[in-house]
Amino acid sequence: MSLLIYVYELLFVIILYAEFIPSTSYEPTKRRREADHLAAAIHNGEASVDIFIATYNESPRQIRRCIHASKSQLYQNKHIYVLDDGNREEIRKLSKELNVNYIARVDNNHRKAGNLNNALRQTDGEFILVLDCDFIPFQMLIRRTLGFFHNQEVAIVQTPQHYFMPDFHARNLGAEALMPSDVDMFYNYQQVIRDNFNAVICVSTSYVARRSALESIGGYVTTCIIEDHQTGTRLLTEEWRIIYLNEILSVGETPGNLRDYIEQRLRWLQGNLQVLLPSCQLPIFNSATTFWQRVFYVLHYASNFMPAGRAFFIFIPLISLYFGN
Based on the residue annotation, tell me whether 84 is a catalytic residue of this protein. Answer: no
Residue 30's alpha-carbon distances to 56, 160, 179, 189, in angstroms, are 36, 15, 28, 13
Q: How many CB atoms lie within 10 A of CB 185?
A: 11
Based on the residue annotation, tell me whether 228 is a catalytic residue of this protein. Answer: yes
Q: How many CB atoms lie within 10 A of CB 128?
A: 23
Active-site residue (options: 84, 85, 134, 195): 85
Q: In angstroms, rounded to a whole number, what is the distance separating the alpha carbons of residues 160 and 207?
A: 9
Cβ(77)–Cβ(49) below 8 Å: yes
Residue 7's alpha-carbon distances to 13, 51, 96, 118, 180, in angstroms, are 10, 49, 61, 48, 31
Cβ(215)–Cβ(119) below 8 Å: no
Q: Give the helix ranges, DSSP H, for the chain.
A: 2-23, 30-39, 60-71, 89-97, 111-120, 141-145, 168-173, 184-185, 191-195, 211-216, 228-237, 258-274, 291-303, 306-323
Q: In angstroms, rounded to a whole number, what is the distance separating the alpha carbons of residues 193 and 43?
A: 30
Angle, CA 131 vertex, CA 130 and CA 135 arms, to 5°: 160
Q: In angstroms, rounded to a whole number, what is the distance separating the alpha carbons of residues 191 and 199?
A: 8
Active-site residue (options: 50, 84, 134, 228): 228
Catalytic residue IDs: 85, 228
